[in-house]
Structure 1
Amino acid sequence: MATTNRDLVLPLNGYDDLDEAVALAQFAERLGYGHVSMGETTGRSVPLVLGLIAERTDDVGIADDVLSPFSRTPTALGQIAVTLQEISDGRFRLRIGASSPALAEKWHGVGFDRPLRRVRETIEIVRQVQSGERLDYDGECFSPDTLKLTCPPPETPAPIDVAALGPKATELAGRFADGWVPQLLPIDGLRDRMDDLRRGADLGGRSIDDVRVALLLRCCAIEDGERAREYARRHVAFMIARYGPYYRKAIADAGWQSLVDDVGSRWREGDRDGASAAVSDDLLHDLVVAGTPTMARERLEGFEAVKGVDAVQIGFFGGMSENERRTTVTELAPGRD
């Protein structure tokens, strides 16, 4: 039986009705998942939905995946942390990250400038906000001062995690954050980034054991293993070709440069089927969990065995039905092994 915690990432904008998303969170709670989280891009506002889930659950932790200082100011993120800690009775984790140039510039209409510096300052400002003391921060990007929180501060401040892929960003997480949330890293790349996380923890004068590592893994565990892998191929091809530069670079740097180039070239030429076909079984084995329930559980345990991983977040591939999601959640539930 796995000793690593298992969390769940809800496909929030895959639902027409919010009640369906909440129902999956409640289902995960009954199965013993540690946290439920969800990402925010151009769809629903995640903090509002997390408040709804907090009200309709009892024990499961809640988290965002992730919020950015390009979409909200650091003090606004601090207010979100304070409020969701109150609504959830202390079950919230705030996850921040730089997001991507496309979202910052094309959706939020702001320049994508000095992302790592902004993330670092945001961590420090959110901690000041949650303390309830007057703000006194003179940063290079943000300089809030004088005012303070006018509601009670949380008895236990919400932990702050950083979503990051690159070596410098991962080092920042190790140095300043309470947790690190990577995704779409090949397993060897994940091991390499653990060294960066450890270096950051050393620079911060603390142990890497103080940083909760929650790996987001895209998963599909259904009896039709080939169908599961086809979902995976299509999703990985999309992530490589369209979902921001960081994922492409992380996969390429882990030894898959030629495959990344091939997928990107085919996609730009309009050959999406060819781009998906170019995603090899070997890359899928290193990057995601897709196959029959038995195969999926075995592969999931391989990622959990990486030294330093504290939790695995079960995410999904695009195109999966709700029945296939629920089957995957059930088959990969804590204690199912």
Structure 2
Amino acid sequence: MPERDIVVPSGMDGIDDIAAMATHAEDHGYDRISLPEVTGRDGVTLLAILADRTDDIGLSNDVFSPWGRSPAVLGQTGVTLQEASDGRYRMGLGASSPDLTEKWHLAEFDRPLRRLRETVELVKQVTSGERVDYDGEFFDGGGLQLRGVDSAEVPVDVAALGPKAVELAGRFADGWVPQLFTPEALEDRLSDFRRGAELGDRDPADLRVAVTVRSCVLDDPERARDVARRQLAFMIGAYGPYYRQSIAEQGFADATETIHDAWTDGDRIEAIDAVTDGMVDRLVAVGTRETAEERLRCYEDIDGVDAVRLGFFGEMTDDERRRTTEALAPAP
């Protein structure tokens, strides 16, 4: 049976609330918790705090940008968090997006997959304790190595949607973290992941695939569906081009175009109304506990999926997240 992980939502009130979510997830048998890092709290500091306040649950991040920190700093971060957590850490990297790269990190969004590949390879080189020696298109040179801290194995998971990015994850990383795929589309994309593993002369069984499924269990199933519609409208309309393109290619092209156009025009109500029942039924897990559990099982039954990561929706309350966490906790 695949593992069940959990993802901390953005915008939580305070560090103590995040730590409380982590210990609550640990108490209910979740295997791993992952933290976001976009324009909010620094993920490294939060992970260090969680390493101290938890005992057994795995720790990950969603995701560090290859423009936000140098590969050497990422490598130092990886070995330090591995030491702090007694080996429970997995690093999350992704190609990021034009908006975050250019408007937050103030860098040019240039050849993101190439930069991501070089970052993954350099992180591996740094964390191994080797002397850095790299000849790439973005990074070139070296001569120093880790000192004063032991090297450590730091698994790197890549968040990716498109076929080339997923192939890159299979070829160079240690795992893939997809999001907002229907089960059928996820099965199709897994072929790209396996092809990447073959190109890298690696066994896909040694790599971890952990799919994020945003979930909401409420006594009022229609409110849960409305919460999902608003989040999907936001991610399609405002959250960069990649989710919109990915969802469109999964059979929702007309709806995603309508949602994006309405959102761009400032008509949030029209954008939300354009989210179809099929999108809610096939991309997320919402409604009663039985309905949501059935949806999660659809992903867990896919050959090659190692974990389902429970995600949330932005407008859920603390109580709603807590109840959903408990309702969908892994079987003891």
Interval containing the TM-score (normalised by the shorter chain)? over 0.9
Match of 1:49 in 2: 46
- Runs (5+) with no aligned partner, structure 1: none
| Residues in 2 aligned to 1:18 and 1:60: alpha-carbon distance in whole angstroms | 17
Q: What's the CA shift for 1:34?
A: 0.6
**TM-score, with structure 2 as normaliser:** 0.98
**TM-score, with structure 1 as normaliser:** 0.96
- Runs (5+) with no aligned partner, structure 2: none
| Residues in 2 aligned to 1:231 and 1:77: alpha-carbon distance in whole angstroms | 35
Aligned to 2:30, which of 13, 19, 33? 33
Identity %: 53
2:122 corresponds to 1:125: yes
What are the within-5 Å matches in structure 2 for residues 125-164 of structure 1? 125-154=122-151, 156-164=152-160
Q: What's the CA shift for 1:307?
A: 1.7
Tell whether the 8 Å contact from 2:95 to 2:116 is kept in structure 1 after alignment.
Answer: yes
Match of 2:5 in 1: 7
Q: What's the CA shift for 1:162?
A: 0.7
| Residues in 1 aligned to 2:150 and 2:161: alpha-carbon distance in whole angstroms | 32
| Residues in 2 aligned to 1:144 and 1:329: alpha-carbon distance in whole angstroms | 47
| Residues in 2 aligned to 1:21 and 1:39: alpha-carbon distance in whole angstroms | 11
Tell whether the 8 Å contact from 2:155 to 2:174 is kept in structure 1 after alignment.
Answer: yes
2:166 corresponds to 1:173: no
Q: What's the CA shift for 1:303?
A: 1.5
Residue type of the alignment partner of 1:22: A
2:19 corresponds to 1:22: yes
Provide, for residues 126-181 of structure 1, a one-character-per-residue CA deviation record: whole Å limited to 9, x for no partner: 11111112111111111241111112224x41101111000000000111111001
| Residues in 1 aligned to 2:47 and 2:77: alpha-carbon distance in whole angstroms | 10
Provide, for residues 35-72 of structure 1, a one-character-per-residue CA deviation record: whole Å limited to 9, x for no partner: 10111111100011000001000000000010011111
Match of 1:292 in 2: 288
| Residues in 1 aligned to 2:128 and 2:101: alpha-carbon distance in whole angstroms | 29
What are the within-5 Å matches in structure 2 for residues 310-329 of structure 1? 310-329=306-325
- SS of residue in 2 equivalent to 1:26: helix
2:277 corresponds to 1:266: no
Residue type of the alignment partner of 1:54: A
Aligned to 1:68, which of 65, 75, 86? 65
Between 1:156-165 and 1:183-192, the stretch displaced more is 183-192
Residue type of the alignment partner of 1:223: D
| Residues in 1 aligned to 2:184 and 2:256: alpha-carbon distance in whole angstroms | 16
Aligned to 1:103, which of 100, 105, 121? 100
| Residues in 2 aligned to 1:259 and 1:208: alpha-carbon distance in whole angstroms | 34
Tell whether the 8 Å contact from 1:132 to 1:152 is kept in structure 2 after alignment.
Answer: no
Residue type of the alignment partner of 1:177: A
Tell whether the 8 Å contact from 1:6 to 1:312 is kept in structure 2 after alignment.
Answer: yes
Residue type of the alignment partner of 2:278: D
| Residues in 2 aligned to 1:245 and 1:266: alpha-carbon distance in whole angstroms | 15
What are the within-5 Å matches in structure 2 for residues 236-255 of structure 1? 236-255=232-251
- SS of residue in 1 equivalent to 2:243: helix
Provide, for residues 89-113 of structure 1, a one-character-per-residue CA deviation record: whole Å limited to 9, x for no partner: 1000011111101000000100011
Provide, for residues 72-124 of structure 1, a one-character-per-residue CA deviation record: whole Å limited to 9, x for no partner: 11111111101100100100001111110100000010001111111111111
